[in-house]
Amino acid sequence: MLYIGIDAAKDKHDCCIVDSDGEFKCDGFTFANSKEGFEKFLEIVKQSLSSKDKIIKVGLESTGHYSTNLLSFLNSQGFEVVVFNPLSVNRSRTANSLRRTKTDKNDSRYIVQLLMSGNFKPYHKQSYHILRLKSLSRARFRLVKEIQPLKNRYRRLIHLLFPELQGFFCKLDIPAVITLLTALPGAKDIAACNITKLTNILSTASRGRFKRAKAEALKQLAKNSIAEYNRGDAFELKITLQRIQFLENQKAEIEAEIRNVMSEIKSPVTSINGVGDVLGAAILAEIGDINTFSNSAKLLAFAGCEPSTYQSGKFTATNTPMVKHGSRYLRNALYLAVKSAYLHSPSFRAYIDRKRAQGKHFYTAMSHGIKKMVRVVFAVLKRNITFTEPI
């Protein structure tokens, strides 16, 4: 058997090859992240093969997009591939040396050591739909993170240009308010606007909900505003709203694409109350193949939602934080799913309320809700059954 450890990087990959007897066939060679580099790698692997080497096992770190193309190439060559968590490689490096030395060459050796230990699970190529959902869900996650600071800036600018608007409309992110402030970004602009034009703006944007009486009340409110008009702030408000609308439209396009994929795979995960297509897609994309996990506790650990443990001598800590070493995308999706399930699922509401009644902090109760959600998701996907509320 031939063991190959690869430390993947952006432009090149460091490789180490060892046979089953522990003899280094090739130590510390580098090949480029290109077609020519991959062909060079194959040539060196062929030269390292002996008559007794029937199986080739390749190990590499999960380094995001840097290892994606390499992983696809290795699978196409029929190699048995193992993808290690970078944390495992880091702990192996720490355990093997007291020196603070990290090099790509050494990392490839530590990956080979982990590979030879046999404490791993082979990599299973994910289906086309799962890979597609992962790309879409993570793109949506990044868009939401990008939109939130813009919305915070939007509220700050409103406080400067028209603070009284906060209580006049039920929400500041409804289409009527966004259209109004894009055309008239400050209290001074609204106060100076013709009442007919103002009525048309509000009526059109609200689809007839807001009429002349609403426009007159808004105009009077603007006249009595304490805001000091600043053209710079007004201009920033307009372009901030344009950016928010652009990103929101992109998010809507991604969500439509997610729903199309979810309609094709018809996963039972969406039968859980509070888990729709968007959250269901994020959960499915990060879990991948549910058969990778033998029980729900391992799925919880993969999400990084299990509590950490600290015990020394006679002392055992009872108040410990989450590990948070797993997929942050899955962790975020599970948290949002629990928040939604609290509103739509009687069993989840009763469970979380019971934890709160026991004196637990809100987020502690929510962490228990996440554990319950993981157990439900695991059972639904493992058995391929729809979720039904317990009586």
C-alpha span between 287 and 382 (Å, rounded): 12
Residues 26/60, Cβ–Cβ less than 8 Å: no
β-partners of residue 18 are: 3, 24
286-312 pLDDT tens trace: 999 898 889 999 999 888 887 776 667
Instruction: Report the pLDDT averaged over residues 248-263.
Output: 96
Percentage of the chain beyond pLDDT 70 is 93
88-142 pLDDT tens trace: 777 666 666 656 666 767 788 888 888 887 766 656 667 888 989 999 999 999 9
Alpha helices by DSSP H, listed for the chain, are: 35-48, 68-76, 86-96, 104-117, 128-161, 165-168, 175-183, 187-192, 195-205, 212-223, 231-265, 277-287, 296-303, 328-344, 346-357, 362-383
C-alpha span between 86 and 180 (Å, rounded): 50
Residue in the structure block whose two tokens are 């039972």: 268
**How many angstroms from the chain centroid is the CA of residue 155?**
26
Instruction: Report the pLDDT averaged over residues 184-207.
Output: 93
Average pLDDT, the chain: 88
Q: What was the pLDDT predicted at 295?
A: 92
What would the two tokens of residue 369 be? 């809700």
Instruction: Please give the residue that has the higher pLDDT: either 50 or 138.
Output: 138
